[in-house]
Amino acid sequence: MRLINIIGKRFSRNKLSLIGAVTVLLLITISLCAPFIAPYDPTTINVHDVLSPPGKTHLLGTDELGRDVLSRIIWGSRISLKVGFVAVGIAIMIGIVIGSIAGFYGGKVDALLMRFVDIMLAFPTFFLILAVIAILEPSIFTIMVVIGITSWMDVARLVRAEFLTLKETDFVNAAKAIGVGDKRLMFRHILPNALSPVFVAATFGVAGAILIESSLSFLGLGVQPPDPSWGNILTSGKDNIEVAWWLSLYPGLAILITVLSYNLVGEGLRDALDPRLWEAERR
């Protein structure tokens, strides 16, 4: 508990990261409360309000089908955050398993798994995702799974590095001496002490997954209309850029603010969890 308090105090000293954390909490709250705070149904077509500029009736204007842009952005936040959290969850689970096995056993097992990681890193991630999405039917589920199974490599390398260090410590040697099995030793004793960099990587990963989902939806390979997504709202903005500037500006700002906020939180967590900075402060 004392360690959590120390980390919290260190994190709160970084004002930008604190602003990012508050923004993230606000975005999560908005996405959870979308059915109650969205002023209109995001899929309702109104031919009388086609490409209406921002005003009292529609605060952020309407799109080419008369749908309220504010409502679509609010509902789109649910999809973007869902994709971000689920995709990162999949990536973390795969990365933890592979990184733990590689770091714990070392030798040929480590060499084999790390060469597989190197092969995966050699492929441009976004183009690999495009190739898989082009083969499979575009859907939210497909996007979450594909982003997850193509984004675990950095987590695996971080976990492996922590395991290589921790498996030589006294508490691990003591656990081995009393006959603790490999599985319990890995996931009960070593892994909880190796999760600090994983939390930081997860925060950056959510931002990256949201950006990838928006890019895929913008290209027409992500969330399919009429379901709202920040990316497909931007597609409408591209098609009507000369007469409806609001279709590009507002969803673009939503993506910018969200990705920036998660990156700021990640920076703050990285500094708060870095033991080298703790030692520097003591000196």
Where are the strands (E) in 34-83, listed by range?
A: none
CATH architecture of 61-264: Orthogonal Bundle (1.10)
Give the C-alpha separation, 220 to 86, whole Å. Answer: 21
Token pair 């892994």: residue: 191
Reply yes or no on whether the pLDDT at 25 is more than 90: yes
Give the C-alpha separation, 49 to 62, whole Å. Answer: 7
Reply yes or no on whether the pLDDT at 20 is more than 80: yes
Q: Which of 7-16, 26-35, 174-183, 186-195 has the highest mean pLDDT?
A: 26-35
Which tokens hold the place of 131?
Answer: 């190739």
Choose among 233, 100, 75, 246: nearest CA to 161: 100
Q: Which of 166-170, 204-208, 219-223 has the highest mean pLDDT?
A: 204-208
Strand partners, 62: 68
pLDDT at position 94: 93
Cα torsion for 264, 268, 273, 278, to the nearest 10°? 150
Question: pLDDT class for 128, splitting at 50, 70, 90?
Answer: confident
pLDDT in tens, 129-140: 788 777 877 778
Reply yes or no on whether the pLDDT at 228 is more than 70: yes
Reply yes or no on whether the pLDDT at 143 is more than 60: yes
pLDDT at position 72: 92
pLDDT in tens, 237-248: 888 888 888 888
Task: Count other Cβ atoms within 10 Å, centred on residue 144.
Answer: 21
Residue % of the chain over a pLDDT of 90: 20
Query: Which residues are within 8 A (CB) of 15 and not within 5 positions of it... i.e. 6 or more apart?
Result: none
Residue % of the chain over a pLDDT of 70: 94
pLDDT in tens, 73-101: 999 888 888 888 899 999 999 999 999 99
Question: pLDDT class for 22, splitting at 50, 70, 90?
Answer: very high
